[in-house]
Amino acid sequence: MKASELAGILGGVLEGEDVEIIACGGLEEARPGDLSFCKDTKHVKLVQATKASAVLLPPEWDRGAPCTVIRVSDPNRACMAAARLFAPPEPARAPGVHPMAVVAPTAKIGEGVHIGAFTVIEKGAEIGDGAVIEAQVFIGEGCKVGAKTHIYPQVTLREGTIIGKDCIIHCGVRLGGDGYGFNNGRREDGSVFIEKIPQLGIVEIGDGVEIGSNTTIDRARIGRTYIGPMTKIDNLVQIGHNVKVKGYSGLIAQSGVAGSTEIGYGCLIWAQAGVSGHIKIADGVQVGPQAGVSQSLDGSVRYVLGAPAESMRDFGARTLLPRTVAKLKADIKEVKARLK
C-alpha cells in the first residue's frame, strides 16, 4: 500500500516520498518496507537509526526522520490500526464439525460451533453457541465450554472441566489434571508407602478468562479449583488443586500458585513468582517477579518482592545491605583506631 493511501486511512499528513508499505514494526526491528511509529522525543536516536520506510510521528515532532513521515495525533493507536490492515486475516473457523473429528453422540454441540480435525469430544460434553474448538483438542466426559469461547489446538480438558463464555484457551493448556496429593508413611513392618489421594473435584473457569500456552491447572481434591472472571493467565503457569482466583487478576509467565490458596480480586502475580499453599492474597496485591510468598498477605502492603516476600522498601534495604555493612566496617575500623 502506498504511504499516501495509508495516510488517508489513518487521517494523517504525508511528508516525503510516497513509498510502498508492506508491514509494521517497532523502530529497531523495522525493515525496509515497514511502517514504524514514535510518540516520544525520548526516542530520537531510534527514529534516526530506523530502517523503516516510513514512520508515524506526532504533529509537534521537530527532530526530523531518515524516511517518509506520516504525522498523526496518536502514533501508537495509528500504528495498531495500520498493523490490522497488514496482518493477514485471522484464520476463518467456519461453523461445522470436521469429518475427522470424533464427537460422542451424547455431546451437545451448540449453534455455529467450529470443531477442527482430530479433535475428540467425549460423551455428555456441552459446547456453547459460537464456540471455536480447533484441531487436535481433547474435551473429556461431561465438560462444559461456554458460548464464543475459543480453544486453540492441542488443549486437553479432563472430565468435568467447566469453562465460561468468551474465554481464550491457548495451545497446550492442561485443565483438570490430577492435583498432587499423596499420603506417605511407614507400615508396621517399617516399609515405606506412598498412596495416591483421589482427586475427585473439577476445574471451573469463569467468563472472559484467557489462559496462555502450556499452562496447567489441576482439578480439586474435593470441590473445584476456580479461576474467576476476566482473569488473564500467561504461559507455563502452574495452578494447584483447590486454588481459588476470585477474578480480574493477572498471573504472568512461569508463576505458580500452590494448592488451596486464594488470590483476591485484581491481583497481579508477576513472572516466576511462587505462592505457597493454604494462604490468602488480599484483593489488589501484587507479587513481584520471582518473589516467594509463604504467608497470607492482608493488603496492608500492596506490592511484595523477594523470598520471603517483603515490601519494596524492605527489599530495597536488603539489596543495599552489602553497602550498609561496608560502611559499618569502616566505622568500626575508625572507632578501633581512635581507641588505640
Q: Could you list the active site residues?
A: 241
Residue with Cβ nearer a copy of itself (62 or 91) = 91
Considering the complex, what minimum distance in angstroms separates the CB of residue 79 from a copy of itself?
A: 6
Name which of residues 133 to 152 contact a copy of itself (CB under 8 A): 134-136, 138, 140-142, 152
CA distance 57 to 46: 13
Q: Using CA atoms of 141, 146, 152, 154 in order, give the dihedral in degrees to the nearest 10.
A: -10
- Applying CB under 8 A, which part among 6-14, 39-47, 59-67, 306-314 lies near a copy of itself? 306-314
Residue with Cβ nearer a copy of itself (63 or 329) = 329
Among 44, 83, 279, 301, binds a copy of itself (CB under 8 A): 83
- Applying CB under 8 A, which part among 1-9, 41-49, 66-74, 207-215 lies near a copy of itself? 207-215
Residue with Cβ nearer a copy of itself (73 or 193) = 193
Phi and psi based region of residue 331 (left: phi greater than 0; alpha: psi -120 to 50; beta: remaining): alpha
Name which of residues 108 to 127 contact a copy of itself (CB under 8 A): 116-118, 120, 122
287 grid coordinates: 507479587
Q: Using CA atoms of 280, 203, 150, 239 in order, give the dihedral in degrees to the nearest 10.
A: 40
DSSP class of residue 179 equals: P
Residue with Cβ nearer a copy of itself (108 or 329) = 329
Among 16, 26, 33, 95, binds a copy of itself (CB under 8 A): 26
Residue with Cβ nearer a copy of itself (40 or 331) = 331
By CB under 8 A, residue 107 contacts a copy of itself:
no
CA distance 45 to 58: 16
- Applying CB under 8 A, which part among 6-14, 39-47, 61-69, 206-214 lies near a copy of itself? 206-214
Name which of residues 209 to 268 contact a copy of itself (CB under 8 A): 210, 212-214, 216, 218, 222-224, 226, 230, 232, 234-236, 238, 240, 242, 244, 248, 250, 252-254, 256, 258, 260, 262, 266
Residue with Cβ nearer a copy of itself (100 or 111) = 100
Give the largest Cα separation in the chain, rounded. Answer: 94
Q: In what order do the strands lie in the sheet with 96-97?
A: 96-97, 114-115, 132-133, 150-151, 168-169, 210-211, 232-233, 250-251, 268-269, 286-287, 303-305, 310-311
One-character DSSP codes across 150-218: EE-TT-EE-TT-EE-SS-EE-TT-EEEEPP--EEEEE-TTS-EEEEEPP---EEEE-TT-EE-TT-EEE
- Specify the 3-state DSSP secondary structure of 316: helix
Among 50, 68, 149, 154, binds a copy of itself (CB under 8 A): 154
| Phi, psi for 112 (deg, rounded to 5) | 70, 20
CA distance 207 to 325: 52
Considering the complex, what minimum distance in angstroms separates the CB of residue 257 from a copy of itself?
A: 9
Residue with Cβ nearer a copy of itself (61 or 248) = 248
Total of chain residues touching a copy of itself, rule CB under 8 A: 111
Considering the complex, what minimum distance in angstroms separates the CB of residue 206 from a copy of itself?
A: 12
CB 158 within 8 A of CB 140: yes
199 grid coordinates: 482427586
Contact string (CB under 8 A) for a copy of itself, positions 43-72, x = contact: ------------------------------
